[in-house]
């Protein structure tokens, strides 16, 4: 039997079909939730049993493959998620023993097979755990995954390679990161900071010719993170000539962290930068790197238009110039109508409460 | 008679087209938001945000909390806010001339002492009486000022805020502990970002202890449950979808974050405005993005803030009428944006969408329903048209509401129990049979009051969180 439908009937039918489709989705979502709940319970049960076994394994000399033999393949993921926090926190022998549970057992081929799968979810998870366990066997596959068109696959592979301290791929990571809108400076920093401090030497050689401000900024941040002193001279040149605010600020922070006294002269020029954030950072740095020859320049900054700069000027003067507190008070309370003096009064008032 | 019949049919068809269009726009937004959220979640899944902040040049934030007669909740709220996870933030509480013991409570609980002060900026606000700092919490500042309303209080807070980023929150908002870490990320990633909003959720029925959400739950009141679905729809796919076009026209006043320079450039909040949270965003588009189209006003889908929803018809009606007045006010104030190609997507698509569907929507819908009933009663429309009309006006809405619950389940899954999920599904279905029409009616009344001169703010009673 054929039913004749006019345009309105057809419209109503379409929406009814859409509604039916949505309710099928609802059923699927509910089923997924039930499955999720079931798995959560299974995981709880698993952990209740395995918590003690893992601790016994760490204390005794049990072979990893003997322990893993007791787990069904489908429950490997429960163990991996249980181990996650420990693998992140532990170092030394305990880390080696735990990572052996992955690297010297059937879990490693299990993860590598997932790494080779087509599903980004499976790849991300496998890459994460293989990296966490520093599983060298996955290195070549992970390197190939850096060329993936999927941002999350790229990120998880890069993170895993960083944990494997595969320094050869550092610049491939930078190059590939540009393909993705979602890969930001902080994502790259998280990845790069997972390498060992050996990365600094490679980055330093690159910094000498690097023109990209983002890579310069990340590199200098990493030097600060690893407190890498040998880069001081090169970073100083960059700090003086860079037009990029982030690069300059990162450089100043780096000089402060390694107490690079040679940077003091460069700071003399930057103290008058048109960018308030740079002026504020310079004043903070001068508390560590400056000397009494900066006194007048710092006083001038008391009249700055930005509060943060004024605040740092007062604080730095107090640290750098012995006995300056009295002079500052005289300035603050001797010029009651002056705006700069009013700000200094505020800073002093805040400091007195904080102390 | 035939001509009348054609006119009536034509008008009904137009209304039907209106419903079809608005729901289809929502479906498109839903699809766009779905893919955006999948990408967002996958990208940040394995990133440890707290670690990043130790490394990078993070920006300090001043969190401004305007408070008017908040003596019952202010202490708990501030204690919770002081525990937010962020390396460098300042809490600026603005006591907006409260007539109760709000200031006294702050004296008693936070050891505040008067300090010398000078405003750094000159945004218009009522007179500041005194500024206090806490000796116990060095990052807490209290401003006591003459009453001037929420926008005025925020301006006073901005004038004394030290940080380059300004977050504005309601005193009774419950924030997620890591909300600042999340909301600041867009500013760090892109220096063109000038404002960021996050998802607001309904806290009714949840277990809140010392200003923190302990267990996410659902209220027993269906009115609150309907609002949960409404919020999911508005935030998860409404704002997420518009964000793809850089077309966010409203960031909730319950929690928003701005670049201080941008706020200063546009002279801060507009005092006396009914919907100040929408007005400021529209003004940012109008004044700042015209100068520099690269600037971004963006949105993060993470739930960052929980708020109390009205559970009585009276309070809900008052809230919706006020929101509608705010929408109308903001749209009329900035009507220059309408179909103005100089403003790109905002002028040509997003602003007209707001004008047509958000501002005029209630009028079109109320007249549409009314006209349809009359036409059907007098036999001007066929049965198939009637079925199509009701299907589009109601069942299409069901599709959208249910999709928003599915989107929540596939992304954040904040409602842990299966029974909660099923209740939300039921609410998504039921809200389309009466509740949605009722809120449309209130919005219609809000518009009517706006144009008849009743533009006052109205009272918003809140029950408060039990613990």
Closest CA–CA distance from residue A320 to any residue of chain B (Å): 23
Distances (CA, A) of B63 to A187, B7, B210, B250: 26, 56, 19, 19
Residue contact B55–A308, C-beta within 8 A: no
Residue contact A353–B403, C-beta within 8 A: no
**C-beta separation of B224 from B206 below 8 A:** no
3-state secondary structure B342-381: HHHHHHHHHHHHHHHHHHCHHHHHHHHHHHHHHHHHCCCC
Residue contact B39–A182, C-beta within 8 A: yes
Distances (CA, A) of A307 to A273, A341, B251: 15, 12, 28
Closest by alpha carbon to B218, among B205, B227, B209, B229?
A: B205
Candidates A10, A11, A308, partner chain B, best to mutate (most B CBs within 10 A): A11
d(Cα B224, Cα B385) in Å, to the nearest integer? 34
Residue contact B20–A6, C-beta within 8 A: no
Name the least confident of A269-283, B44-58, B151-165, B183-197.
B44-58
Please tell me the predicted confidence (pLDDT) of residue B465. Answer: 55
Candidates A6, A7, A8, partner chain B, best to mutate (most B CBs within 10 A): A8
Provide long-range contacts, Cβ within 8 A and 24+ apart, for B416-421. Answer: B416/B215, B416/B216, B418/A30, B418/A33, B418/A34, B418/A37, B420/B217, B420/B218, B421/A29, B421/A30, B421/A33
- Residues A297-322: b if buried by 16+ CB within 10 A, e if exposed: bbbebbebebbbbbbbbbbbbbebbe
**pLDDT confidence of A117, banded at 50, 70, 90?**
very high
| Partner residue opposite B403 with nearest CB, options A15, A22, A354 | A22
Q: Does A228 touch chain B (CB under 8 A)?
A: no
d(Cα B406, Cα B117) in Å, to the nearest integer? 51
Residue contact A193–B55, C-beta within 8 A: yes
pLDDT, tens only, B363-411: 999 999 998 899 888 888 888 888 888 888 888 888 889 988 988 888 8
Does position B456 have pLDDT exceeding 70, yes or no? Answer: no
Does position A345 have pLDDT exceeding 60, yes or no? Answer: yes
pLDDT, tens only, B263-302: 999 999 998 888 899 999 999 999 998 788 889 999 988 8
Q: Which residue has the tokens 């550092």?
A: A170
Q: Does A49 touch chain B (CB under 8 A)?
A: no
Share of chain A above pLDDT 70, in %: 98
Which tokens hold the place of A148?
A: 């993936």
Arithmetic mean of pLDDT, B228-248: 88
d(Cα B106, Cα B78) in Å, to the nearest integer? 9
Residue contact A182–B188, C-beta within 8 A: no
Measured between beta carbons, the chain A residues lying within 8 angstroms of B398 are 19, 22
Closest by alpha carbon to B283, among B296, B295, B266, B298?
A: B266
Does position B167 have pLDDT exceeding 80, yes or no? Answer: yes
Q: What are phi and psi of B72, to 5 degrees?
A: -75, -35
Q: In what order do the strands lie in the sheet with B165-169?
A: B112-115, B128-134, B140-145, B89-96, B61-67, B165-169, B255-259, B193-202, B296-307, B174-175
Per-position DSSP letters for A174-227, written without gaps between them: HHHHTT-SS--HHHHHHHHTTS-TTHHHHHHHHHTT---HHHHHHHHHHHHHHT
Candidates B24, B38, B48, B55, partner chain A, best to mutate (most A CBs within 10 A): B55
Please tell me the predicted confidence (pLDDT) of residue B152. Answer: 94
Q: Which domains does chain B have, with CATH numbers?
A: 2-25+352-451 (no CATH), 57-323 (3.90.550.10)
Please tell me the predicted confidence (pLDDT) of residue A310. Answer: 87
Q: Does A31 touch chain B (CB under 8 A)?
A: no
**pLDDT confidence of B98, banded at 50, 70, 90?**
very high
Residue contact B115–A349, C-beta within 8 A: yes
**C-beta separation of A260 from A289 below 8 A:** yes
Q: Classify residue B322 by burial, with Cβ atoms within 10 Å: 0-12, 13-18, 19+.
A: buried
Measured between beta carbons, the chain B residues lying within 8 angstroms of A5 are 384
Please tell me the predicted confidence (pLDDT) of residue B48. Answer: 57
**C-beta separation of B202 from B228 below 8 A:** yes
pTM value is 0.83
Please tell me the predicted confidence (pLDDT) of residue B467. Answer: 45
Residue contact B56–A186, C-beta within 8 A: yes
**pLDDT confidence of A28, banded at 50, 70, 90?**
confident
Rounded to the nearest 10 degrees, the angle between the axes of helix A7-59 and helix B396-411 is 10
Does position B412 have pLDDT exceeding 80, yes or no? Answer: yes
**pLDDT confidence of B237, banded at 50, 70, 90?**
confident
Measured torsion, CA atoms of residues B257, B263, B269, B274, in degrees rounded to the nearest 10? -50
Measured between beta carbons, the chain A residues lying within 8 angstroms of B52 are 186, 189-190
Please tell me the predicted confidence (pLDDT) of residue A325. Answer: 84
Please tell me the predicted confidence (pLDDT) of residue A291. Answer: 86
Does position B43 have pLDDT exceeding 70, yes or no? Answer: no
| Partner residue opposite A6 with nearest CB, options B45, B384, B410 | B384
Arithmetic mean of pLDDT, B184-191: 84
Please tell me the predicted confidence (pLDDT) of residue B462. Answer: 57
Which tokens hold the place of A47?
A: 């952990």
Residue contact B418–A185, C-beta within 8 A: no
Q: Does A319 touch chain B (CB under 8 A)?
A: no
Q: Does A102 touch chain B (CB under 8 A)?
A: no
Share of chain A above pLDDT 90, in %: 52
Arithmetic mean of pLDDT, A222-251: 93
Please tell me the predicted confidence (pLDDT) of residue B285. Answer: 93
Measured between beta carbons, the chain B residues lying within 8 angstroms of A8 are 16, 382, 384-385, 387-389
Does position A282 have pLDDT exceeding 70, yes or no? Answer: yes
Arithmetic mean of pLDDT, A342-355: 81
d(Cα A265, Cα A230) in Å, to the nearest integer? 19
Name the least confident of A80-94, A106-120, B444-458.
B444-458
Which chain A residues in 194-213 lie under 8 Å from chain B, judged by CB atoms?
Answer: none
Q: How far apart are the first and last CA of chain A?
A: 89
Q: Which residue has the tokens 């012995």?
A: A322
């Amino acid at each position: 039997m054929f039913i004749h439908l006019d345009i309105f009937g057809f419209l109503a039918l379409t929406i009814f079909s859409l509604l039916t489709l949505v309710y099928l989705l609802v059923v699927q979502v509910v089923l997924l939730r039930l499955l999720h709940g079931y798995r959560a319970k299974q995981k709880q049960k698993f952990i209740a049993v395995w918590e003690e076994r893992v601790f016994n394994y760490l204390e005794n000399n049990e072979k990893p493959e003997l322990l893993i033999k007791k787990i069904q393949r489908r429950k490997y993921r429960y163990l991996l998620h249980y181990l996650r926090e420990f693998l992140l926190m532990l170092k030394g022998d305990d880390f080696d023993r735990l990572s052996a549970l992955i690297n010297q057992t059937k879990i490693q081929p299990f993860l590598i097979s997932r790494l080779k799968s087509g599903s980004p979810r499976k790849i991300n998870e496998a890459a994460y755990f293989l990296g966490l366990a520093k599983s060298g066997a996955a290195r070549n596959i992970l390197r190939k995954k850096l060329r993936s068109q999927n941002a999350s696959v790229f990120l998880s592979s890069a993170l895993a390679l960083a944990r494997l301290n595969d320094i050869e791929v550092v610049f491939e990571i930078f190059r590939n990161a540009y393909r993705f809108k979602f890969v930001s400076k902080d994502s790259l920093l998280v990845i790069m900071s997972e390498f060992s401090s050996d990365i600094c030497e490679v980055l330093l050689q690159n910094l000498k010719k690097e023109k990209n401000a983002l890579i310069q900024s990340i590199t200098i941040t990493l030097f600060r993170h690893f407190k890498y002193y040998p880069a001081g001279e090169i970073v100083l040149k960059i700090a003086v000539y860079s037009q990029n605010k982030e690069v300059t600020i990162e450089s100043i922070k780096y000089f402060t962290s390694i107490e690079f006294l040679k940077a003091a002269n460069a700071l003399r020029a930057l103290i008058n930068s048109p960018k308030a954030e740079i002026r504020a950072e310079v004043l903070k740095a001068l508390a560590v790197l400056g000397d009494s020859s900066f006194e007048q320049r710092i006083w001038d900054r008391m009249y700055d238009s930005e509060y943060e700069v004024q605040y740092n000027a007062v604080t730095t003067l107090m640290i750098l110039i012995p006995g300056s507190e009295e002079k500052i008070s005289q300035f603050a309370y001797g010029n009651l109508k002056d705006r700069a003096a009013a700000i200094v009064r505020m800073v002093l008032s805040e400091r007195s409460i904080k102390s | 008679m035939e001509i009348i019949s054609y006119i009536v049919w034509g008008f009904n068809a137009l209304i039907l087209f209106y419903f079809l269009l608005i729901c289809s726009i929502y479906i498109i937004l839903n699809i766009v938001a779905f893919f955006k959220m999948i990408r967002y979640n996958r990208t940040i899944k394995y990133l440890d945000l707290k670690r990043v902040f130790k490394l990078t040049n993070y920006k300090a934030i001043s969190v401004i909390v305007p408070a008017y007669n908040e003596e019952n909740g202010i202490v708990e709220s501030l204690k919770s806010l002081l525990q937010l996870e962020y390396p460098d933030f300042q809490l600026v509480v603005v006591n907006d001339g409260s007539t109760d013991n709000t200031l006294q409570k702050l004296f008693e609980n936070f050891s505040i002492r008067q300090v010398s002060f000078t405003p750094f900026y000159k945004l218009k606000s009522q007179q500041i009486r005194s500024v206090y700092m806490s000796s116990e919490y060095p990052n807490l500042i209290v401003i006591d000022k003459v009453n001037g309303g929420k926008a005025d209080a925020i301006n006073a807070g901005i004038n004394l805020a030290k940080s380059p980023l300004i977050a504005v929150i309601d005193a009774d908002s419950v924030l997620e502990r890591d909300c600042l870490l999340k909301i600041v990320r867009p500013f760090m990633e892109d220096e063109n970002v000038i404002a960021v909003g996050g998802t607001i959720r309904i806290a009714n029925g949840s277990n809140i202890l010392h200003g923190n959400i302990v267990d996410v739950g659902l209220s027993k009141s269906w009115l609150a449950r309907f609002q949960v679905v409404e919020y999911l729809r508005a935030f998860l796919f409404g704002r997420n979808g518009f964000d793809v076009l850089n077309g966010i026209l409203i960031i909730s006043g319950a929690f928003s974050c701005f670049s201080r320079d941008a706020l200063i450039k546009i002279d801060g909040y507009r005092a006396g405005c009914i919907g100040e949270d929408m007005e400021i965003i529209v003004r940012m588009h109008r004044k700042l993005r015209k100068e520099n189209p690269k600037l971004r006003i963006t949105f993060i889908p993470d739930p960052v803030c929980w708020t109390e929803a009205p559970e009585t018809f009276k309070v809900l009606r008052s809230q919706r009428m006020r929101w509608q007045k705010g929408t109308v006010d903001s749209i009329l104030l900035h009507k220059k944006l309408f179909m103005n190609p100089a403003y790109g997507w905002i002028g040509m698509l997003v602003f007209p969408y707001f004008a047509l569907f958000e501002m005029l929507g209630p009028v079109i819908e109320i007249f549409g329903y009314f006209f349809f009933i009359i036409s059907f009663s007098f036999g001007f429309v066929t049965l198939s048209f009637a079925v199509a009309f009701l299907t589009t006006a109601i069942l299409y809405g069901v599709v959208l509401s249910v999709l928003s619950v599915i989107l929540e389940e596939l992304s954040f899954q904040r409602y842990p129990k299966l029974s909660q999920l099923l209740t939300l599904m039921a609410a998504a279905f039921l809200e389309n049979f009466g509740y949605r029409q009722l809120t449309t009616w209130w919005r219609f009344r809000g518009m009517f009051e706006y144009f008849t001169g009743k533009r006052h703010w109205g009272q918003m009673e809140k029950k408060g969180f039990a613990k």
